[in-house]
Structure 1
């Protein structure tokens, strides 16, 4: 039996979709905070259990009978709270007799213990100390943070605002990462490893070229003159510092295929219908 934690979230749902192409629904358990948000999963024959990171008492029952558990990292923003949630989940997995854990970490968490990697670093150490067989999947930033419906605006204006200083981005699509998770959950030979996942490196100049090819309209980059605010500004600072240029073959090796290309991603965004009133913000 395979248990997916945080299964009603965007990533968890994508993993379940991939699992259902590999195994029957009665082998998949969705652990969720609120079962009312997973009625569609239950209707497909997936067992839905309450598993709330903030209520540790629910986790042992949620993980009961799991040969493999996908521990999807909590969306909690406070690093200490997030790490506590993950430790509680690991303790519950050990108590429930879970066979092995696959954990979604973040690139650099093995060596960096601050900022976005803080809780992941702590969790990786907790996993190592738990004695449970496990596998770590270190994710890059999602491509969706950069490649989303806002690209339509760039096509309409003919300009793509670039605050990256021309540096590369090693982002990966949620869909590719979810497929990789389903692969390792249903295959042997992965436990005891840590995979550093990255997609194909791309730049905003290459993105503008892709937009031009796909849309048939000329799109050029325009350097951002002001500094973006909030999370977007911080992320662009990271890119300009070269922090997103690390490359590995781990993701394509697990997928046994190349990762989704920039042109494929852009085409999917530009050509899909737009629902009236739909949000253009990334998840």
Structure 2
């Protein structure tokens, strides 16, 4: 079996992937890389290798991927494009120099049905990273890849509903969208983590020094789109939130200028730059149907129907 690395092995998606990998492969086959490796004491005790690596300190990535055959690369947590892409490039180049054979990359499920463009600013870095991985897979000394376009997390609803708080709910959601039209195929983050872990473990099991047998792992140098099984308009999303908190919740559409001018308590600020206006492009992408695509892939990988959105929201409470 190939040796598997996860970077960063922390955060919501990373922690979920690690948790599920530990049920699929021996801990001794795992290298878990994060900025705070001391948080992985349990995995270390189980036999996993733990190492320090940090996107923001490129020198920590120079040798941390050595002895890893298959890398699960989780995208840099940011909304920027250039800084985020550069962080990904640094990690990918370090992985290639260290001999990594295949890279799984956690992308995002904007850009519609496997499209290569999006109006959503947040998708920009993912598309650039996918392009880079495709180029490297076709060039000299190729490194193969699988880009997993992870569906919009059910748990990420606050950023699409102007920070709606289940524990201090408002009756009104003010966003630059009227709530109607195409919506979002929301999907539970832990189920994305489980499916991603299954893909990685499958590749590591059937793959070898010369790569996997195509019939056994059909996602080499391809994009995989993981979504929920039902699309909820933003109006329906607000109704689900309302039922969960026991009150009526409605959407009031406002303009982009008004939204950008609201006090978001710095939640749209990255490296000192307020990107609230850029974030508004996410609602335009939703309006155009970019997140209203449903695929059966998640269900097929899990072997069960994905958890529905309302169940996940009620579970949070």
TM superposition score category, shorter chain reference: 0.7 to 0.9
Deviation, 1:255, is 2.2
- Report the counterpart of residue 187 of structure 2 in structure 1: 172
1:62 alignment partner, SS class: coil
Deviation, 1:31, is 0.9
- Report the counterpart of residue 297 of structure 2 in structure 1: 250
1:170 alignment partner, SS class: coil
Number of corresponding residues: 265
Structure 2: distance between partners of 1:212 and 1:142: 18
Contact conserved, 1:204 with 1:221, CA < 8 A, in 2?
A: no
Per-residue CA deviation, residues 37-87 of structure 1 (Å, 9 max, x unaligned), is: 444543443221122223434324221121210011111433112111111
Contact conserved, 2:231 with 2:292, CA < 8 A, in 1?
A: yes
Structure 2: distance between partners of 1:74 and 1:55: 12
113, 132, 135: which one pairs with 1:129? 135
State TM-score, norm by structure 2: 0.72
- Report the counterpart of residue 185 of structure 1 in structure 2: 200
Which stretch shows the higher mean deviation, 108-117 or 64-73? 108-117
Instruction: Identify if the C-alpha distance between structure 1 residues 87 and 208 changes in structure 2 by more than 3 Å, giving closer, same or farther.
Output: closer
239, 243, 249: which one pairs with 2:286? 239
1:58 aligns to 2:39 (yes or no) = no
Structure 1: distance between partners of 2:115 and 2:236: 31
The correspondence of residues 1-283 of structure 1 with structure 2, limited to 5 A, is 1-107=3-109, 108=111, 111-112=116-117, 115-130=121-136, 131-146=142-157, 150-154=165-169, 159=171, 161=173, 163=175, 164-167=178-181, 168-188=183-203, 189=217, 190-199=219-228, 200-204=230-234, 206-207=236-237, 219-224=247-252, 226=254, 229-230=259-260, 231=276, 235-270=282-317
1:104 alignment partner, SS class: strand
Which stretch shows the higher mean deviation, 161-170 or 253-262? 161-170
Which stretch shows the higher mean deviation, 2-11 or 235-244? 235-244
Deviation, 1:135, is 0.7
Structure 1: distance between partners of 2:83 and 2:284: 26
Which stretch shows the higher mean deviation, 27-36 or 225-234? 225-234
Which stretch shows the higher mean deviation, 141-150 or 164-173? 141-150
Which stretch shows the higher mean deviation, 81-90 or 32-41? 32-41
- Identify unmatched segments of 5+ residues in structure 1: 271-283
Structure 2: distance between partners of 1:138 and 1:87: 18
Which stretch shows the higher mean deviation, 98-107 or 29-38? 29-38
Contact conserved, 1:160 with 1:208, CA < 8 A, in 2?
A: no
Structure possessing the higher relative contact order (Cα contacts under 8 Å, 6 or more residues apart): 2
Structure 1: distance between partners of 2:232 and 2:32: 35
Structure 1: distance between partners of 2:239 and 2:4: 42
Per-residue CA deviation, residues 199-239 of structure 1 (Å, 9 max, x unaligned), is: 12123554566568777x5x444232655735575544543
Structure 2: distance between partners of 1:226 and 1:75: 28
Structure 2: distance between partners of 1:56 and 1:233: 31
Instruction: Identify if the C-alpha distance between structure 1 residues 6 and 256 changes in structure 2 by more than 3 Å, giving closer, same or farther.
Output: same
Which stretch shows the higher mean deviation, 15-24 or 232-241? 232-241
Instruction: Identify if the C-alpha distance between structure 1 residues 203 and 162 changes in structure 2 by more than 3 Å, giving closer, same or farther.
Output: farther
Deviation, 1:141, is 2.5
Structure 1: distance between partners of 2:37 and 2:244: 41
Structure 2: distance between partners of 1:87 and 1:239: 28
Q: CA RMSD in A?
A: 2.9
